[in-house]
Amino acid sequence: MDVSSNRTSEWPLITPVVSVPILDVFLLVNDFALCCSISLLGVLTNLANIIVFIKMGFADTSNMSFLTLSVFDFLVSLAALISKSCYSPVLRGLVHLPTATAISSVLTLLMFCSVGGSAMTTALIATERCLCVVFPLKMKTLTTQRRVLYLLLLIVAYHVAFLVLLYADTGPPYDNYSRKMGLYYFSFYAVPSTTCFFIVLLATIAMVTRLNRNLQWRRETTQQSDKTIDKESRIAKTITAISTIFIVCFFPNVANFIAQAIYPAYNYSDPYLWSLITVVFSFCGVLQAISSSINILFYYRMSSRYKKVFSSCFSFGRGSCKD
């Protein structure tokens, strides 16, 4: 997708806020150098996460949620890696433009759906753990494996339906931002993702506020072993870290959605602002790539079980991946 060429041909006599040469520099640095590199890392780390969580099993409901999140993040990373490589200024003239445009456009739809799935899964994880911290006794009976599984399958089904609508109803070519496609983005992606952002924000604040006090109370009033309490504490801290990264990295997207809602002229069809919006979303892409790539650090650091299974799977030359 050669954004610069398309837009300058549409408005040849209008100079955008960000000039095309400067825009190309941002696309080269953000989309190609940074986003593609980080997304490649995300593909590898999320593949490792998927393997490890499958090996760990699903006796703990958090493993199901982390596996679903890893699958969505893997799809985000893979789609971003390929799509942003296709329309990078580095490859301009080396790849047949219509082919590159078609590939990047199709994968961009997959990336947006996967980002939405990642946001919903993060919101579910943060809400479930927040309620476990605030209402520890009640939530043990409510968050069963079957209920969590149904919620995760509902999230997957929602985004599969969203993707089918984008592909089937809007129809090719997918590089045209039609009114119908804009409506689908707004209804199925922008509004739900922004809602999930605030859910994660509020749930994380509540969890952090109550975590230390609640754990101290449980040590004093229950007969649970230190091992059990420490395990739940590590899970809560892992989810807090993941939620914090999500909040920081997703905030620019939310700010863009709100800005477009308040100021409708702030969109790609504006001949002056399209280049500025492209630059802003290039930074959003880098942050999203970071959010989709680094969860493995928290899993490995805060879960001894994850660390053990990861080491058995990826200690090359020292045996196979076994429980």
Most confidently modeled range among 5-9, 160-164, 268-272 = 160-164
pLDDT of 193: 92
Percent of the chain with pLDDT over 90: 34
pLDDT of 95: 59
- Look at the alpha carbons of 108, 286, 81, 114 in this order and tell me if their dihedral is positive or negative: negative
At 10-24, the pLDDT tens digits run 555 566 777 778 888
Examine the pLDDT at 7 and tell me if it is beyond 60: no
Q: Average model confidence (pLDDT) for the chain?
A: 82
Question: Locate tokens 């456009």: which residue?
Answer: 105
CB 237 within 8 A of CB 299: no
Give the pair of three-digit tokens for residue 76: 């985000």
By mean pLDDT, which of 7-11, 210-214, 245-249, 260-264 is the weakest? 7-11
pLDDT of 1: 44
What is the DSSP code string of 172-240? Answer: S-TTS--HHHHHHIIIIIIHHHHHHHHHHHHHHHHHHHHHHHHHHHHHHH----HHHHHHHHHHHHHHH
Q: Is 168 strand, coil or helix?
A: helix
Q: How confident is the model at residue 153 (pLDDT cuts 50, 70, 90)?
A: very high
Q: Is 95 strand, coil or helix?
A: strand
pTM for this entry: 0.85
CB 201 within 8 A of CB 127: no
What distances in angstroms separate CA 140 from CA 26, 132, 135, 168, 195, one per listed residue?
Answer: 49, 7, 9, 42, 26
At 167-176, the pLDDT tens digits run 888 888 776 6
User: Which residues are 92's β-sheet partners?
Assistant: 95
pLDDT of 44: 96
Q: How confident is the model at residue 70 (pLDDT cuts 50, 70, 90)?
A: very high
Q: Dmax of the chain from CA atoms?
A: 75
CB 1 within 8 A of CB 174: no
CB 31 within 8 A of CB 282: yes
Taking residues 160-164, report their average pLDDT: 92
Taking residues 144-167, report their average pLDDT: 92
Domains recognised in the chain with CATH numbers: 3-10+18-314 (1.20.1070.10)
By mean pLDDT, which of 10-19, 102-111, 131-140, 203-212 is the weakest? 10-19
pLDDT of 185: 85
By mean pLDDT, which of 41-50, 225-234, 258-267 is the weakest? 225-234
By mean pLDDT, which of 87-96, 180-189, 237-246, 295-304 is the weakest? 87-96
By mean pLDDT, which of 39-43, 114-118, 225-229, 313-317 is the weakest? 225-229
Examine the pLDDT at 219 and tell me if it is beyond 70: no
Percent of the chain with pLDDT over 70: 82
At 30-64, the pLDDT tens digits run 888 899 999 999 999 999 999 999 999 888 888 99
Q: How confident is the model at residue 84 (pLDDT cuts 50, 70, 90)?
A: confident
